[in-house]
Amino acid sequence: MPGAAKQFCVIIYFSACIAALSAREVKITVQDADLFIPLEGAVIHAWDGLEYNCDENGELVLEVPEGRQFLIQALYPGYETGRLLITQEGSEFTLPLRLGGVMEGRELVIEGRSPLSSETKSGRSVAISGEALERSSQIGFVEDVMTAVKLLPGVGYSGMFNALPSIRGGHPGDLTAVLDGFYIESPYHWGGGFSIFDPHMVGSARLSHGIFSTRYGHTISGLLEISSKKADPHQAELELGLSTSAVNLNLSFPFNEKGGLMAMGKATYWDPFVWAVKQISKVTDNETLDMINAVTTAPYIRSAEITTNYRFNTDLEWTNAIFIGADGVGADYLNENDDADIKSKSRMVFDWDNLQGFFISGLGFNPRNDMMLKAAAGAGFTRMLINGMIDYDYLKYSADSLTYTLGPDDLDIDFKGTQTALNVQGRIDYDWSMGKGFLLGAGVQELYSWREAETKGKVFLEGRLDDFPSIAPFILPLGITTLDLYLHFPTRIENEIINQMVNSSAYTLLEYSSPEGRFGAEAGLRLDHLYFIGKDFTIQTMPVLNPRLNLDFNLFKNRGVFESFDLTAGTGLFSSSNDAIAGISVSSGIDDFTLRPNRSWTSVLGFKTDLRGGWSFNMEGYYKYVFDRSYTYTLVSPGSEAETVYRFDGDGVVLGFDLQLQKFDSRYWDGWLSYTFTYAKYHESENISDGLGDVTTLEDSGWYYPYFHRFHNINLVLNFKPSRNFNIYTRLGLASGMPKPKVGAIKAYDVLLLDENGMPVIGEDGKPTIIKKYKRSSYYDENSRTTWSIPLDVKFSFFIFKPGSKVTTEIYLAVENLFSLVYSAKANTSFNTYTGKEDTGSDSANYEMPIPMVSFGMKWSY
């Protein structure tokens, strides 16, 4: 035994020597967040197992391993829990703590953290967490993390009821979301109106829109990384939230101070709001508000998540998360029109139901102090049902010596769709801190998805007669002497698709950080491959290589008002597969190696400076070339089913810059001002040309601004704190207009009715039925845009701290879209295609409520 003990001591000694050779010193300061006074006497348990005490200035100089990140967690008597990441860069860190009732005395604990997680990093990503995330996302009728994400630089304004923004000029559908490392195929409620990420269930959000690590892929625009809340391993916690339309409940239990379980749930109750708006619609003359009377099933969201984490020892941790969510809405709209020229009676029915869920499990293991191994696997499903129809009893027209009556066969449309998707995925990630600032990473990932979709329906289309030369021989013998006609014909939609996709990926990377963080570099290579499996066919694709490189330079530190000044430069390739390929069938005629993933080559150049007094300024310029982008178009002829054509040669050019001036948390105020400029143009070699009914002529699209493009996006976010118990959050946005078609005057035109067989409808007089409708020319003009959008939101929060307890209560009152009573963005008006009369109040450029959205809520936590 003495010999064994001696041997053990020698091992410990040499281990400590090796660690010391690759260690660095950091100074940690713990202080009161409001008064800026040091909190003397905090005890820190360091990575080496020894105890340290902060001095009278609340400071501690500590040696930590080089090339690693650490998380400080602080529990100080009478103060709320605080956390701060000790990054690989920087040597001085401040941890402010806020008063929050009586708490047991505990110590600051430093725990090793995987290199897979990091803070906001110039040229790569921007993160939001803690109070900033809560203030900006816990607002409105549906509290949503995307409400906060949409305020970040590089994100285009998309409106209140749209969780699909454009990220640095990319298509909204190109944004990929990851929850705790698990790729979410459809992270949305109501088809994209809101995300599934409830702020009461989320710990942090990070948007990567630069040259992010090769650890992640499946996107050419942006990656949204969401981290779930996790249970405190030391104490039980309870949080109850009540808002205008939802109730939230979070409950967590510790597992013997080694982990815990947290259960989170949310349920909406929109029925009172729907009832209130119905009453308002009765006393106001607003067509948009009148639509609320059609609601049969009030919009609803139900979601729940359970997370567990358990650390068996200092080297092994197990985490799990399970989520299930549902959403839906229903409407039944009866419309009777009794104008002088036209009388009609119709009914519109719409029902939407969506269910999704997934399970994730992961293990984190440190085989040695300088190695990290993570393995994760999960499975998920979604099921969507949609049913819609418009049924006409009649439509009678009588004006200008023309009289006709249309019935259900001429006007009724319907659509029914179901979609079921399953996915299974797994990944293994390995990191090795090689010493002297080098870190080597590698990993493999597999993502399998299965999708079944069935759509049935009938719609009506219109096209010029001279665009369908095959129809003319059947029409001219019936007494029609002119080809200057439009055809009105029904088209049946019947599709049943069962497809599978196997995405295989592997990556490797090498990171370097010089002493004191003066220079850093990350070089990586990612390999992605897609194998497509359809019903009775398969499609092989070529693997794609995605190299990426980032360089970081710290030019100087602590000079005058500058705490640091950093430059970053990066370039890389990215790939993904969008929804355009989901409907490929054997009849599509796609051969092996014809299908290609979407690609983009992106380069970023930026700088960031931290200033004394808690200020930071960041600016990044970027260029992105999009190529091999998938797109589709549809060919339709009377009497035949629609044909979808797939192409994989779309391209685009995006360039712009973002800047952000941020004031970090201080006694009386904090916030940020961001500005984003984006130039984005796209192009397709084959496209259906502009013009009503021109459904067969194809031509090059030319370079155009996409529908979601905005040149300018400005966000001013301010948080005022007059007292410890009162907070005022404000957000003012300025967003330039989106493209809108250039339109001409409304003119009458003649329309020949065709039946489902493509033959003319014969009237009671034995002649083909020709009616008069109205249209206006519409064409693309890159100088035609909607007016600016100016959203203004205000939130008042009141905090109640109960002396002698851990109970905290927050009550808030919020008003969104405050300017809507006096201003709204304008677009083209709509008009009645049978009378030619413009619809009043139809020139809004969005689908938001024409009144401010008032909401309130209460959060009680223990």
Task: Report whether 72 contacts 42 (CB < 8 A).
Answer: no
d(CA 609, CA 484): 66
Residue 325 has pLDDT above 90, yes or no: yes
Q: Residue 141 is inside which H or E element, if any? A: none
Asked whether the predicted pLDDT for residue 416 surpasses 60, the reply is: yes
pLDDT at 11: 32
- Whether residue 707 has pLDDT greater than 60: yes
CA 748, 753, 757: angle at the middle one, nearest 5? 155
Cα–Cα distance, 658 to 151 (Å, whole number) = 12
More confident residue, 91 or 99: 91
Decide if pLDDT at 66 tops 90. no
The strand pair at 43-45 and 108-113 is best described as: parallel
Quickly state the pLDDT bin for 849 (edges 50, 70, 90): low
Q: How far apart are CA 208 and CA 175, in angstroms?
A: 10
CA-based torsion, 136, 138, 140, 145: positive or negative: positive
Which residues, at least 6 apart from 2, have a Cβ–Cβ distance to it below 8 Å? Answer: none
Scanning the structure block, which residue is given the tokens 């020139």?
843
Q: Rounded to an integer, what distance in angstroms lies between the CA atom of residue 154 and that of residue 211? A: 14
What six digits make up the tokens of 827?
């677009």
Tokens of 59: 């400071």
Comparing CA positions, the residue from 348, 216, 221, 159 lying closest to residue 790 is: 159
Q: Give the CA angle between residues 520, 523, 529 to the nearest 5°.
A: 150
CA 475 to chain centre: 51
Nearest to 530 by CA among 542, 514, 518: 542
Tokens at 156, concatenated? 């285009």
Instruction: Return the closest-CA partner of residue 588 out of 633, 628, 624, 622.
Output: 633
3-state helix, strand, coil in the chain (%, to 5): 10, 60, 30
Q: Looking at residues 824-851, what average pLDDT do you find?
A: 78
Query: Residue 108: its pLDDT value, please?
Result: 38
pLDDT at 295: 85
Most trustworthy range by pLDDT among 395-399, 781-785, 845-849 = 781-785
Residue 641 is which amino acid? E
First vs last C-alpha separation in the chain: 50
**Cα–Cα dist 324/621, whole Å:** 39
pLDDT for the residue numbered 115: 32
The structure tokens listed for 554 are 């710290």
- Banded pLDDT at 70 (limits 50, 70, 90): low
Give residue 318's identity as a one-letter amino acid code. Answer: W
Q: Which residues pair with 550 in a beta bridge?
A: 522, 570
The CA distance from 13 to 9, in Å, is 6
Mean pLDDT of 446-463: 91
Residue 605: is its pLDDT beyond 50?
A: yes
**What is the pLDDT averaged over residues 124-152?**
86
Q: Give residue 846's pLDDT.
A: 66
112 pLDDT more than 50: no
Cα 222 from Cα 152, distance rounded (Å): 12
666: DSSP letter: -
Tens digit of each residue's pLDDT (9 = 90 or more) over 571-594: 999 999 888 888 898 888 899 999
Residues above pLDDT 70, as percent of the chain: 84
Strand partners, 1: none
Among candidate residues 763, 471, 413, the one with its CA nearest the CA of residue 639: 471
Instruction: Return the minimum-mean-pLDDT range out of 298-312, 391-405, 425-439, 833-847.
Output: 833-847
pLDDT at 351: 94
SS (H, E, C) 19-62: HHHCEEEEEEEEEECCCCCECCCCEEECCCCCEEECCCCCEEEE
Element (H, E) at 181: none
Q: What is the pLDDT of residues 609-654, one digit of tens each?
A: 989 888 999 999 999 999 999 998 887 777 667 788 899 999 999 9
Please provide residue 261's backbone torsions phi and psi, each rounded to the nearest 5 degrees: -125, 135
- pLDDT of residue 813 exceeding 90, the answer is yes
Sign of CA dihedral 479, 484, 488, 493: positive
Which pair of structure tokens corresponds to residue 773?
């409708």
Tokens of 459: 């719609």
Confidence band, pLDDT 50/70/90 cuts, at residue 172: very high
Q: For residue 175, what are its two tokens?
A: 């944004």
Least confident of 57-66, 169-178, 182-191, 315-324: 57-66
Taking the C-alpha atoms of residue 824 and residue 363, their distance in angstroms, rounded to an integer, is 51
pLDDT above 90 as % of the chain: 44
Summarised one tens digit per residue, pLDDT across range 215-236 is 999 999 899 999 888 888 888 9
What pLDDT score does 284 carry? Answer: 76
List CB contacts of 366: < 8 A, sequence separation 6 or more: 112, 314, 315, 316, 372, 373
Question: Can you give the pLDDT at residue 529?
Answer: 97
Residue pair 384/354 in contact (Cβ under 8 Å)? The answer is yes
The predicted model gives 6-16 an average pLDDT of 35
- In this model, does residue 10 exceed pLDDT 60? no
- Site of tokens 């006007």: 411
Write the DSSP symbol of residue 583. T
DSSP per-residue letters across 797-860: EEEEE-TTSS-EEEEEEEEESGGGGT---B-PPPB-TTT-PBPTT--BSS-S-SS-EEEEEEEE
pLDDT tens profile 495-514: 889 999 999 999 999 999 88
Residue 530 has pLDDT above 90, yes or no: yes
